[in-house]
Amino acid sequence: MTDQEIKEQVQEVLDKLRPFLLRDGGDCELVDVEDGVVKLRLLGACGSCPSSTITLKAGI
């Protein structure tokens, strides 16, 4: 799978997860995919939420 294909798949998942994050005052954005490694940025309330790791693992 190419980095571009990974980006597209991750973006699709983020688009589905986003309404739940926004409802809690947060958000998540795709920063980059390089050599198969996905980099995300947690925004708003998600940046300091103790459950953010669980959200990422379970949601994405």
Domain that holds residue 20: 3-59
Structurally, how many domains does the chain consist of? Answer: 1
Instruction: Give the C-alpha distances (Å, rounded to integers) separating 15 from 8, 35, 37.
Output: 11, 23, 19
Confidence tier at 60 by pLDDT (50, 70, 90): low
In this predicted model, what pLDDT tens digit does every residue of 3-53 receive, in sequence order? 999 999 999 999 998 999 999 899 999 999 999 999 999 999 988 888 888
CATH number (domain holding residue 7): 3.30.300.130
